[in-house]
Amino acid sequence: MEIRDRVAVVTGCATGIGRATAVGLARAGARAVVLADRKDVGDTAEAVVHAGAEALSVPTDVSDLGSLRDLFARTEAAFGRLDILHNNAGMGEGADIWPAVPSERCAAIVAVNLTGVILGTQLALEPMKRSGGGVVVNTSSGGAFVPLPPQAVYAATKAGVVHFTRSCAPLHESHGVRVNCVCPGLVDTPMILETGGGAIADWLKPVYDGVTLLRPEEIADAVLALVRDDEKIAEVVLVENQPAAAERSG
């Protein structure tokens, strides 16, 4: 899909990967980017407008069905169409380590990372069909493929996103909607600092020290590539870390 003049919704875009995708879409010529986060998205909105697109901020909790319905209704009301959805909002166990994670937080992780992706995709289908088709890109994680004992709930939801994405292949035929996902390795965003309550968690340190962190823009590039390539249907794309520079040279 050509991104120029398209209308996109990006969830979880106050910082990190979602912010980079929102700005990337604007730079690629999108007409409008709808910014959906439960945090303030003022900085992202400014950057999107600076990059040449309209920005509409819609305070959204992706774990709340009513809030998601409102997001898509406001998008269609403002711009008359929906072409692109990046289901990106996510959360992890924070500084707690499975199984010593409050049950309420476990439920919230599933609601945001998995239910939010499923319902976001479902609610986007009709608006996208009315627009002549569309593209959904979900954010999973490299943690979907390897056991992640300290963040077992997070890992389970991200594996779920991969399987959900693969199971959405027929939506291309039925609704003209391609659903794909990206699986980033460790990315330099606020989320990785939440693992240690403002620092890198001890359990993550060996991995963190061994790799070069990805930049959010590298994940945004992968998302935009999936949007552009009409051949990509139910595709799962890994964006992996390179070994840390010291290891590479030595």
Ligand X SMILES: NC(=O)c1ccc[n+]([C@@H]2O[C@H](COP(=O)([O-])OP(=O)(O)OC[C@H]3O[C@@H](n4cnc5c(N)ncnc54)[C@H](O)[C@@H]3O)[C@@H](O)[C@H]2O)c1
Positions in the binding site for ligand X (CB under 6 A): 11-12, 14-18, 37-39, 60-63, 88-91, 112, 139, 141, 184, 186-187, 189-192
Whichever of 152 and 191 has its CB closer to ligand X, that residue is 191
Whichever of 28 and 223 has its CB closer to ligand X, that residue is 223
- Quick check: 45 and 20 in contact, CB under 8 A? no
Nearest to 89 by CA among 135, 35, 134: 35
- Quick check: 92 and 154 in contact, CB under 8 A? yes
Tell me which of 154, 178, 223, 233 is the catalytic residue: 154
Whichever of 80 and 190 has its CB closer to ligand X, that residue is 190
Q: Please, what is the minimum distance in Å from the beta carbon of residue 192 to ligand X?
A: 5
Whichever of 124 and 131 has its CB closer to ligand X, that residue is 124
Q: Please, what is the minimum distance in Å from the beta carbon of residue 162 to ligand X?
A: 12
Task: Determine the number of helices (DSSP H) and then strands (DSSP E) in the chain.
Answer: 11, 9
Q: Please, what is the minimum distance in Å from the beta carbon of residue 25 to ligand X?
A: 15
Phi, psi of 25 (to 5 degrees): -65, -40
Active site residue 154: yes
The reply to whether omega before 190 is within 30° of 0 (cis) is no
Nearest-5° angle of CA 128, CA 50, CA 46? Answer: 80
Q: What is the distance between the alpha carbons of residues 202 and 200, in angstroms, rounded to a whole number?
A: 7
Tokens 């890109």 found at = 137
Q: Please, what is the minimum distance in Å from the beta carbon of residue 56 to ligand X?
A: 15
Residues annotated catalytic, as ranges: 154
